[in-house]
Structure 1
């Protein structure tokens, strides 16, 4: 069979993703802003297309089978890859030097030498990422701790703490700009997330104009822990998740530059894996993590 004809319609896959995320056809229809019958029609298309049952009726509810859950998860990952690539399109025209490193080396060495690298070559745009080829095999998780907009959370997800973010920098960067936070925000080199959404969003809600030109050399980093590490090393000013840099702020290793935050509707959350059977130990660990999140970060 031709590979293209093997794929079901994208509209049906979008409905499948929504059913997995929202937990029912009714909630999926509400999430997609379509009628219940429209989603039910896509369910029928998928079931007719698949040689294996993807859905099962339980009373008045339609639920995913193990095969349906597997296809839905693969679909979610594929659509997220497309969404991520769409966000990255604006930076594809840039000439960027991309560096990949194993996590330990990246965090303990590469982010510190990054300061000297961009100082010696101020005209170069640098992209720092993680090379995970050394990651060992691991057991499937029973509890998944992740990060998402509240609208993407599903029934049963437990909020750990908020994901709001604000600009921060190392004390050395603030000193270089006369101790003036506004001057840092106007002229210090920025550390961007990979698609620059955080800075773009922050400028949209703040009163400070975006003075960085579209073609200005920049540092872009694809992972939050590396963004934090680069900010701690004094590589520039970054928009960081406040829950993750709270200790750095309290110790004075990072300085908050503005009270204006973004992403107040984003959260770190815990989800039970549907692929792993629930047991008493899992429940104890889940409760412990929730209590610790409230103690350490005030909860969500």
Structure 2
């Protein structure tokens, strides 16, 4: 089928129709930047053809050279046959207007915390320029640490991960954004290497997938590092550690902001005494909670 396409398809419109059909036929899973076959097909084709990612219409009926057609179809064929997330094929992921390098050493960035940082955690932070110390725990590609540095211009940001591979990717992204003087990368098993340092804000998009969900993951998610996804039988192993230890590393009135996926009910049942504040995102108020230091256990 792909061999026929190499001979018969002429325009971007032809390729786009073909790609959507193949994605639907293969029953691909979408969840790494797009949620449907059309959007992902548009993104991959525009990327392969070195066209602006936000400008499809002017190019739909443009005829492709044989080399362009081959490059585009090779990318689409890998997406179908290998079930790799699109970000691993293009070596990039986007959070809003911000681009980050990614590869198989890190999960594909897709955090709701990103949009909260775009708003400088308003209204929970009164003065973003007064924030001097931020911690991004389980930083992965470093995307949230970088967004935190952009949101809080006077802050020093510690970006922690247990994986040296992830930190190597984060180092590249920090360098791309020229933030090496403000974002410090630290290899640590959660908070073990933080010592006595305290922060105005701790953000974390930690592993939170429970054991049953790990066993049922689509092929695309199984391409990602399991270390960055799995968190015990109920998905709360790492969150429990955060809730137990975070107060030691927050300044008075400091904030803990944590993403927990679809685990809100499980979390509230496990910690019925905690006054979680659930933050609004474009997908709803089910995914990210906030606690002040004084609301944490042991504070």
For normalisation by structure 2, the TM-score amounts to 0.32
Larger Rg: 1
Q: Which has the higher contact order (CA 8 A, sep 6+)?
A: 1
Task: Calculate the TM-score normalised by the size of structure 1.
Answer: 0.32
More strand by share: 1
